[in-house]
Amino acid sequence: MNPEDISKFVHGCDTNNLNDEEYCGHIGILMMHLFLNRGSLDVDRFIKEYKMPKDMAYEVFDRLNANGMFHSYSWPVKSRNALMSILRHKDKEITKDWCQIAAISAGFMGKI
C-alpha cells in the first residue's frame, strides 16, 4: 500500500482537506513509510522528492526522532512487515499504529 493511500485512510480525506496539524501527520506517515522501505531517511532528499514545506518536514522529523521512531528497536521497525502489508491495511491494529505515527508527527502525543 502506498503512503498516500495510508494517509487518506488514516485521515479519512484527501490531503488537500487537512489542517496544519493533520498535514504534519501526513508528512509523518510518508516519512515512516519511506524509512521502513529504505532503512534510512535523508530529510533534505525527502523534502525535494515530496515537495514538502522545509520547516514543517523538519518539525515532523524532530518529533519522530525524539520519540525514537527511527531506532532499530522502535515498534515501527519491529512491526515493519505488518505496517507495510497490503493485505492487512484495514486491520484495526495496523490502522491504530499508523494513527499513532500520525499523532506523534502532529505533536498530539509523545515528546515535543
Q: Cβ of 87: how many Cβ atoms within 10 Å?
A: 7
| DSSP-based three-state secondary structure for 14 | coil
Kindly list the domain boundaries of the chain, sorted by start residue.
3-106
Residue 54: its pLDDT value, please? 97
In this predicted structure, what is the pLDDT of residue 49?
93
Quote the CA–CA distance of 37 and 24 in Å, as a whole number. Answer: 20
Instruction: Give the pLDDT of residue 9.
Output: 81
Query: With 60 as the cut, is the pLDDT of residue 87 above it?
Result: no
pTM, to two decimals: 0.89
- 15 DSSP 8-state letter: G
* Angstrom distance (rounded) from CA 81 to CA 111: 26
> What average pLDDT does range 2-12 have in this prediction?
83
pLDDT per position as a tens digit, 30-83: 999 999 999 899 999 999 999 999 999 999 999 999 999 999 899 888 888 878
Helices in 1-112 by DSSP H: which ranges?
3-11, 20-38, 43-50, 54-66, 75-78, 80-83, 92-106
Report residue 22 as a C-alpha cell: 493533520
